[in-house]
Structure 1
Amino acid sequence: MQENKEQRPYFMNYSHSIYTRASNQPRALSMLSLLILLLNLTNHAFGENPAIKAILTNKGLQYGSHIGADWMQEKIWSMIIPDISGGVDIGIGTVHYVLDGISVSGCDVPEPSVEFYEGVGLKTGISGFSISMKGNWHTRFGIISDGGSFDLAVFNVDVTSVVQLGSDYSGHISISSENCDARISKASITFHGGASFIFQPFVTLFKDQMTALIEEKICPMVEEHVTDLDQHLAEMQVSFKVNSALVLDIPLTNPPLVESIGLGLDLKGEFYSVQSHTDPPFKAEHFDLPKDDGHMLSLGLSEFTVNSASYGYFSAGLLQAKINDSMIPKTSPFRLNTTSFGPLIPQLPKLFPNMLMELQVYARDVPMFSFQADKVTQEFPGAIKAFAIQPNASRTPLFNLNVDSIFRGMIRISEEKLQGLMKLNNFTLTLASSEVGTFQTAALEKIVKMGVEVSVLAKLNAKLEEGIALPTMHHIHLVNPVLKIQQGFVSIASDLDVKSAERESISEGIYPYQL
């Protein structure tokens, strides 16, 4: 019997509840959809300290298994089942048969099992799966042809598979089939109509042949789909454009760590400026992420991740602002002109009488975040350049000030973004250079502090409110996340929800198989 390369036994879809195939791209292990989306890894980064860590717990793995059972129960009734053809030797010749018009009339789908296989990967299986079908039969024995209807049932289908997780030279996750075993305990065929009574005595021969054919095809199909998945993961990219300024890269820095109670992933977790892919002048430090068995996923983001975002904004020249008089509240008695600055810098209105001024406020170095227990601190080394605006609109430099600020605040999770709010905790101002002579800065410090709060702090909080996207992917969403600020990193423990759109995308493109 020749196998059609385009179609495979429809039993392959049913005998192992977690294997499907799409017409345009590989589909595999629906109960592992959480892993697939968490493991879209590329770009070699081995040897580096990870800035992001993730731990998938057994609770998360079982949730993925439950999704697989729900998906299959919904889809199995709409399956298109191809014709089955073959021949049975009855001693005096071969009876050629065709079963067509096959449709599902009932199914019993037990919960698939999945567990972490320490040091290897995942062990998946389904036990006691059964399905009943109905259709038409046609036989030919020499010049004798006949036909009618039939009922077909396959009982107690058991499949177990061990999938090995690893990594390739470029930092992708790799998946390979380590072991597979398939067993079908029972099948039943009943013919109706025509001269079916003639063929009913040979049902055992039909059953044995079909059962053997199904069993021998299951594991090759499992291995084929695992190979497809491995290729699919190898082609996936993990460079996410967070906003118009930043890109986030999260390749593996170490091979996956598979333990009996969870799967650990070490990710690079570095932000880059969209304009230039330049590494920041600091490295990620080691941290240990605690596992929370009460949640599906534990996630850790180190100071490096947030500071690389800060470096990305800084290197792109986005941490700066211009302040002019139109931005000062009209009710303020202090205006941004040389006259108002007279009491602070007496020589200024003499050199530049009755002129408007403009302040350029910017970061003179990378603002750095640090995490301590329940507290976030940011040091912002800033600077201010002051200009006088001439009648012809040209700008004349006046003086430069260094402004060193320390902000403290909080962070939170909202809409799957890490957001925050910072307040000014310490502020000092010193004169760096001057084109109008030296002057005291104490009084000016109070006014500039107000300007920093109105402009710079407002812009900083706008960026923090915009948020840094957490490395969740596609249709996986965090449910009731718990955030803790710890020494050097932020930990997030959360349950997960795979939205229906993802379940639909997993099941797209199912097509029939044929013996």
Structure 2
Amino acid sequence: METSVNAEALLPILLGLLLAVTPGTLSANPGLVARITGKGLEYAAKEGLLALQRDLHKITLPDFTGDFKIRPIGRGHYDFHSLEIHSCELPHSTLKPLPGQGLSLSISDSSIGVQGRWKVRKSFAKLQGSFDLLVQGLAISVDLLLGTDPSGRPTVTAPRCSSRIYDVDVDISGGLGWLLNLFHNQIESRFRKVLEDKICEMVQKSVASDLQPYLQTLPVTAKIDSLAGIDYSLVEAPQATAQALDMMFKGEIFNLHNRSEVAAHAPVMSLPEDHEKMVYFAISSYVFNTASHVYHQAGYLSFFITDDMIPSDSTIRLTTKSFRAFAPRIARLYPNMNLELQGAVIAVPLLNLSPGNLSLAPQMDIQAFVLLPSSAQEPVFRLAVGTNISAMLTLDTNKVTGFLNPGKLQVELKESNVGMFNVELLEALLNYYLLNTLYPQVNDKLAKGFPLPLLNRVQLYDLALQIHKDFLYLGANVQYTRV
């Protein structure tokens, strides 16, 4: 039985409601909200601290020079050069929401070790040696301003950065190390100023060259199949509250070849105040509705059944002879002819999300035709078909999969050119077709899953799913895999 058109049409629609997508052009509410909790920000701070610690080793410290005058030695000139950071410890950090702006990163109780060389020139004499410098009590404070660019991707800048070093200790060795130690306070003050400036310069450069490009890996659109794509763009800048960071995505499913506005509105989603997981996704039923609109408008929610699609061992055939028992007139008017059923979903089927339940109730119109010897089609009767479908969802590290639980069809005879007849036998045929052919094909495709829109190298674990009124609520912890 070949029903690829139906399976391909149902798959994106049913998976669409699992995707991280959001409201359409006419909607004031987001279709997807991604909430990063304090626990998630704590994890992000930990991972960011490791990256920052690696970057600090890359700081190029400038040489600096100065003159000295010490009795009875007189005047001289010193030069510190070949400065390298050889150790860096950043044990404590916090990343908190900065309401109305973005995030605030604070790093405290840190230390940095620096090694280098020194030279002293006095008249025609020149001496040199090495030094070790230990910076302790380093504190860094950075504001991260979050926004969105014209494409809908998140942006980040660091407009404010401050660093403070509370203690600098320089140990100078070499022939005139005792001399340089006489004015170590001046040297330590110079080192403190250089390091404080360089640390903030490096942090702001890292935000621009590392963090911002990483945020750009969030997909703005993704292709579902040859017809449809998904819009993952942000509808506004990320919103920081006292306890979390919320990101609102557009996420409508659209026709790749002829995008048009979808006359649907995303419902208001009242997210639970959960904080046990690192991240939560609230996925509106609007996603399903935009998918339904696209595939219905494109004619994908239609099908046909002919006799050669019925299993050979079936006792029910799509022939006038087989229908003779419950519609005698059809066999008399059209002896020994085949039938064809052409069906279509009448209106855009809407997803119903209620606590603990996910279902839809498509209404179909099925027209029966007799295939005449001339190859013409003669309409003989029309049926109204309704059913209820429930779905089960499963989740893994980066994708959502589904499984359909079909309900029984309810078939009603709407009009007939061959007299009234009992539709029970035809109802059994349609149920057999759906249960044994269409649903298994769709479930095979649903089992392959569809990826969630995630940044590069991010995976989800400890996933939990709840179904609330009008939205799915997914909680998860996050694992960042380093390259």
Contact persistence 2:23–2:251 (CA under 8 A): no
**Aligned letter for 1:90?**
F
Unaligned runs of 5+ in 1: 1-39, 505-515
Question: Cα offset for 1:59?
Answer: 0.9
Contact persistence 1:42–1:236 (CA under 8 A): no
Give the 5 Å matches for 1:24-423: 48-72=28-52, 75=54, 79-80=57-58, 82=60, 84-91=62-69, 95=77, 97-100=79-82, 102=84, 104=86, 106-138=87-119, 144-166=125-147, 173=154, 175-177=156-158, 179-193=160-174, 195-223=176-204, 238-389=220-371, 394=375, 396-399=377-380, 401-415=382-396, 416-423=398-405
Q: 1:338 to 1:282 in 2, by over 3 A?
A: same
Contact persistence 2:39–2:275 (CA under 8 A): yes
Q: Distance in 2 between matches of 1:154 and 1:400?
A: 88
Q: 1:72 to 1:120 in 2, by over 3 A?
A: closer
Q: Distance in 2 between matches of 1:117 and 1:80?
A: 29
Q: 1:466 to 1:397 in 2, by over 3 A?
A: farther
Partner of 1:49, secondary structure, is: coil
Question: Cα offset for 1:58?
Answer: 0.7
Q: Distance in 1 between matches of 2:68 and 2:471?
A: 72
In the alignment, does 2:426 pair up with 1:448? no
Match in the other structure for 2:17: none
CA-to-partner distance for each residue in 1:189-241, whole Å, 9 max, x for gaps? Answer: 33344554544434433222121122234445545555666698689762222
Q: 1:110 to 1:210 in 2, by over 3 A?
A: same
Of 460, 474, 479, the match for 1:492 = 474
Match in the other structure for 1:12: none
Match in the other structure for 1:508: none
How many percent identity over aligned positions? 25
**Matched pairs, number:** 457
Contact persistence 1:41–1:237 (CA under 8 A): no
Moved more, 265-274 or 142-151: 142-151
Q: Distance in 1 between matches of 2:42 and 2:348?
A: 43
Q: 1:44 to 1:82 in 2, by over 3 A?
A: farther
Partner of 1:208, secondary structure, is: helix
Match in the other structure for 2:3: none
Q: Distance in 1 between matches of 2:102 and 2:440?
A: 48
Unaligned runs of 5+ in 2: 1-19
Contact persistence 1:128–1:157 (CA under 8 A): yes
Match in the other structure for 1:30: none
Partner of 1:151, secondary structure, is: strand
Question: Cα offset for 1:265?
Answer: 2.7
Q: 1:316 to 1:89 in 2, by over 3 A?
A: farther
In the alignment, does 2:460 pair up with 1:482? no
Question: Cα offset for 1:68?
Answer: 2.4
Partner of 2:323, secondary structure, is: coil
Question: Cα offset for 1:83?
Answer: 6.1
Q: Distance in 1 between matches of 2:22 and 2:32?
A: 15
In the alignment, does 2:407 pair up with 1:429? no
Moved more, 425-434 or 206-215: 425-434
Q: Distance in 2 between matches of 1:315 and 1:89?
A: 81
Moved more, 469-478 or 481-490: 469-478
**Aligned letter for 2:165?**
I
Partner of 2:49, secondary structure, is: helix
Question: Cα offset for 1:182?
Answer: 1.5
Q: TM-score, normalised by structure 2?
A: 0.80
The alignment yields a C-alpha RMSD, in angstroms, of 3.6
Q: Distance in 2 between matches of 1:100 and 1:65?
A: 32
Q: Distance in 1 between matches of 2:125 and 2:319?
A: 108
Contact persistence 2:221–2:230 (CA under 8 A): yes
Q: Distance in 2 between matches of 1:349 and 1:445?
A: 19
Question: Cα offset for 1:286?
Answer: 1.3
Question: Cα offset for 1:380?
Answer: 1.1
**Aligned letter for 1:473?**
L
